[in-house]
Amino acid sequence: MSHADRHTDGREQLISELKAHVEMEQWFGADVCRSAEEASTPARSRPAAGAATGHPGEDAEKRQELEELRLAIEDCHRCPLGETRNKFVFGEGRADARLMFVGEAPGREEDRQGRPFVGRAGGLLTRMIKAMGLERGDVFIGNILKCRPPENRTPTLAEMAVCLPYIMQQIRIIQPEIVCALGATALKGLLRDPRASISRMRGKFIQWEGLKLMPTYHPAYLLRSPGEKRKSWEDVQKMMAELDLPLLKK
């Protein structure tokens, strides 16, 4: 290969990498200070916290099962977090979603509103979902813990063990094709393995509970470490390919 050919190939590779970076920043690099609620739902149509809201064409039996589960567990006091919470955060989204996002626990805004991922991290998650050509209502979003740990501390393994059956029941009802574990704590909780490493396991599908589990970084981590957005964008594209969703161009 001549020097000119190598120069041309190097330039084309650089252009390709720059295009990929710009595309990733277009999706993940814009303003994420608005809450997910503001970004995804018109003000006059926002559901009340805890309300059972159906989605057009979804499986009515699964919606009913989810509502029955919510009613059965929303007054849970199986651990001390039931005494300190403001609102029980059940989760929200499509009852027969193909894709489910699972975080570790509600934060301050989630505890106040009774909805998952509605703070700054939720705004970034909403952009990730939109990057897939979907809306929040097309997926299901939840957490392992349904109650906020005081001061937003990391959930303990004991707390996750108590609450894990709830998210597992939601997964059983919804039967998604992919569960995306958001962050190290959620990954450890779902796998019941305190040694699970998000840096080592992210970006790779894991066969788990009869479906595919994709670990990726938590949106809150990406806000603190924007240089890692590229890796999460790669993870998003892998989920898109698995779900047969076209890669969108902005």
Sheet holding 99-103, edge to edge: 92-93, 140-143, 99-103, 178-182, 211-216, 206-208
β-strand partners of 22: none
- What is the per-residue pLDDT for 30? 46
Which two tokens mark 150? 């005081």
Grouping H, G, I as helix, E, B as strand and the rest as coil, residue 117 is coil
Place 32 in a pLDDT band, splitting at 50, 70 and 90. very low
Query: How many C-alpha atoms does 160 have within 13 Å on its Cβ side?
Result: 22
DSSP 8-state assignment for residue 136: G
Q: Is the pLDDT at 44 greater than 50, yes or no? A: no
Higher pLDDT, 28 or 234: 234
pLDDT tens digits for 183-215? Answer: 999 999 999 999 999 999 999 999 999 999 999
**Helix or strand run (H / E) with residue 45:** none
Average pLDDT over residues 42-53: 43
- The domains located in the chain, with CATH, are 3-41+59-242 (3.40.470.10)
Average pLDDT over residues 119-125: 95
Grouping H, G, I as helix, E, B as strand and the rest as coil, residue 140 is strand
Q: Which residues of 135-144 are buried (b: 16+ CB within 10 A; e: fewer)?
A: ebbbbbbbbb
**What CA–CA distance (Å, rounded) separates 69 from 63?**
10
- What is the per-residue pLDDT for 34? 37
Q: Is the pLDDT at 46 greater than 50, yes or no? A: no
Phi, psi of 128 (to 5 degrees): -60, -45
Classify 45 in phi/psi space as left (phi over 0), alpha (psi -120 to 50) or beta. alpha
Average pLDDT over residues 100-108: 97
Place 175 in a pLDDT band, splitting at 50, 70 and 90. very high
- Nearest residue to 164 (alpha-carbon basis) of 79, 107, 99, 221: 79
Place 235 in a pLDDT band, splitting at 50, 70 and 90. very high
Place 107 in a pLDDT band, splitting at 50, 70 and 90. very high
**What CA–CA distance (Å, rounded) separates 130 from 132?**
5
Place 9 in a pLDDT band, splitting at 50, 70 and 90. low
- What is the per-residue pLDDT for 249? 52
- What is the per-residue pLDDT for 56? 82
Higher pLDDT, 26 or 177: 177
User: Mean pLDDT, the chain, as a whole number?
Assistant: 85
